[in-house]
């Protein structure tokens, strides 16, 4: 069953990743609809997931959370819908990058937007960071809409940054500074479908 609630937002909760979540993470890491949003990659094994979560847990510059649909307090009925994470934390300059993905069966319900907003609020309000960065592959319209709804501004483009499905694709860079953050909105719903995942190393 998913771990206890760490952050609660509009329609979602973010929870620590438990060993019982590994199968869900592995299954979707290998799903082409999710994997393409991160630039593809080699097949992910159960050991790969365990190693990644252990590395994140022991790291001072990254965190990862299971995204769950908000429901009752009964842990048995909690529904896993995706993952949200932050990485490349630079304490001295007060910045971090975030990423997220939502399982294809759960896209279009506002979970990506709600999870991204919750993670940004955590970075600014609890971690006291100054800036949150994100990147999205050029073809990923769904994730771009999520970032723009949350308040991220486009900041540039890295050309031919990833190799996906036989061709090089650009990565679009986004940023959000604390002074421009008004906090999570009450209407975080998004109707976008497609690859609701954004780039960076997981």
Residue 73: per-residue pLDDT: 56
Domain coverage including residue 21: 7-180
pLDDT at 190: 44
DSSP H helices, the chain, are 22-29, 32-35, 46-58, 111-121, 141-150
Exposed (0-12), middle (13-18) or buried (19+): which is 72, by Cβ within 10 Å?
exposed
131 in a domain, yes or no? yes
Identify the CA nearest to 173 among candidates 141, 196, 147. 147
pTM above 0.85, yes or no: yes
Whether 137 and 37 have beta carbons less than 8 Å apart is answered as: yes
Mean pLDDT per 10-residue interval, the chain, length 202 residues: 88 94 94 84 89 92 93 68 96 95 95 96 96 96 95 97 91 97 67 54 48
What CATH number does the domain containing 153 carry? 3.40.630.30
Query: DSSP labels for 137-188?
Result: ETT-HHHHHHHHHHT-EEEEEEEEEEEETTEEEEEEEEEEEGGG-----S--
- The domain tally of the chain equals 1
Does residue 136 belong to any structural domain of this protein?
Answer: yes
């Amino acid at each position: 069953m998913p771990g206890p609630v760490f952050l609660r937002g509009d329609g979602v909760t973010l929870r620590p990743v438990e060993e019982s979540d590994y199968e869900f993470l592995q299954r979707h890491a290998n799903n082409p609809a999710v994997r393409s949003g991160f630039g593809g990659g080699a097949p992910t094994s159960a050991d790969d997931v365990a190693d990644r979560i252990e590395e994140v847990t022991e790291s001072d510059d990254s965190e990862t959370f299971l995204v769950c649909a908000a429901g009752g307090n009964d842990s048995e009925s909690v529904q896993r819908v995706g993952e949200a994470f932050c990485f490349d934390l630079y304490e001295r300059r007060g910045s971090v990058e975030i990423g997220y993905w939502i399982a294809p069966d759960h896209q279009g319900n506002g979970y990506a937007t709600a999870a991204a907003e919750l993670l940004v609020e955590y970075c600014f309000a609890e971690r006291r960071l100054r800036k949150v960065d994100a990147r999205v592959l050029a073809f990923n319209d769904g994730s771009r809409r999520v970032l723009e709804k949350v308040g991220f501004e486009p900041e540039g483009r890295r050309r031919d940054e990833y190799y996906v499905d036989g061709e090089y694709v650009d990565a679009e860079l986004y940023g959000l500074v604390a002074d421009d953050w008004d906090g999570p909105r009450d209407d975080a719903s998004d109707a976008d479908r497609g690859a609701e995942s954004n780039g960076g190393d997981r």
